[in-house]
Amino acid sequence: MKVLANDGLDQSGIDALSEKGFEVITGKVPQESLIDFINQNKIRTLLVRSATEVRKELIDACPSLEIVGRGGVGMDNIDVEYARSKGIHVINTPSASSESVAELVFAHLFSGARFLQDSNRQMPLIGDSAFSKLKKSYEKGIELRGKTIGIIGMGRIGQEVARIALGLGMRVIAADSNVGKASIKVKFYNHQYINVDIETEPMEGILRHADFITLHVPAQAEGYMIGEKEFSMMKEGVAIINCSRGGVIDENALIAALDSGKVSFAGLDVFINEPTPSREILNHPKISLTPHTGASTLEAQDRIGLSLAHQICSILQVQ
């Protein structure tokens, strides 16, 4: 039985599948050649991340496909309902990367709060000749402790963000139309823990009261979740992080808000027109940038690989 992991698969997943008799192919097949490759090799399981698209055309043209798997949470690059209507199992790993994405949110927050996104650019250039000037320009950093973080989207990742924020001593407020209350269990190294209940509220309250805003929502079918109107409602000097999906934030409105000082800094892991973000976004000194690496930790990829392998074996009834 052949499995094509077209966007790669952690060795743990490869080993788990190989032990059960699967042939795992990890060579990248270009999108335009994917249909021919699947049919020629009679691929039964296609695993993707965010790069490969599984649309109606491919589903109709590849009768050997039984499983389509997404290593991660969002499945907007897969025509999920259509695939299922054709009898194809569609699986993902919704909890495997929550911790990794949440930690990246705070990497961006800490970077922006202490100007690391700019100082890491400037120090190699002029650190030896303008050290005192740079020190002066970065002297107004802020602490996260005691500040209010607003989480838009209280699914698994949003709740993990809340858990870290509570551990840092932050006030957490949240908005989610599908979640009324989230019970967050904050664990400590000595096996002690506390439970904190967070009641969600309308998004307008988050926009008005949060010092930091982080988004954990699906791709938008149309329009932006955060645009010029939403920025105008925010506190002066707010910061915003997007590690969810490109297109959730209007990037032109973001740049205008950064330039005006309404937004003090932003952290972006995802972009409109990904994988070719705009140069204006990439070159802005107030934006901390990563190339869609929210789930790209060794631990998360290990969990993703094992989760996919377990689900594939269960569906195909491989003991």
For each of the domains in the chain, give its residue range(s) and CATH number, in order of start.
2-96+298-315 (3.40.50.720), 98-289 (3.40.50.720)
Assess contact for 265 and 287: CB atoms under 8 A.
yes
Is the bond preceding residue 275 a cis peptide, omega within 30 degrees? yes
Assess contact for 176 and 153: CB atoms under 8 A.
yes
Active-site amino acid positions? 245, 274, 292
Residues in the chain: 319
Assess contact for 36 and 16: CB atoms under 8 A.
no
**Tokens 């973000």 identify what position?**
277
Strands 263-268 and 238-242: parallel
Q: What is the full per-residue pLDDT of the chain (319 aa) written as tens digits?
A: 999 999 999 999 999 999 999 999 999 999 999 999 999 999 999 999 988 999 999 999 999 999 999 998 889 899 999 999 999 999 999 889 999 999 999 999 999 999 999 999 999 999 999 999 999 999 999 999 999 999 999 999 999 999 999 999 999 999 999 999 999 999 998 999 999 999 999 999 999 999 999 999 988 888 999 999 999 999 999 999 999 999 999 999 999 999 999 999 999 999 999 999 999 999 999 999 999 999 999 999 999 999 999 999 999 988 6
Assess contact for 290 and 108: CB atoms under 8 A.
yes
* Collapsed DSSP state (helix, strand, coil) of residue 180: coil
Query: How much of the chain is helix, strand and coil, in % rounded to 5?
Result: 40, 20, 40
Reported as a single tens digit per residue, the pLDDT across 24-52 is 999 999 999 999 999 999 999 999 998 89
Nearest one of 145, 79, 100 to 10, comparing CA atoms: 100
Reported as a single tens digit per residue, the pLDDT across 201-252 is 999 999 999 999 999 998 888 899 999 999 999 999 999 999 999 999 999 9
Assess contact for 246 and 254: CB atoms under 8 A.
no
Consecutive H or E run containing 27: none
Query: pTM here?
Result: 0.89
Torsion of CA 243, 249, 252, 255, to 10 degrees: -50
Nearest one of 229, 237, 107 to 161, comparing CA atoms: 107
**Tokens 């491919």 identify what position?**
58
Torsion of CA 278, 121, 249, 185, to 10 degrees: 140
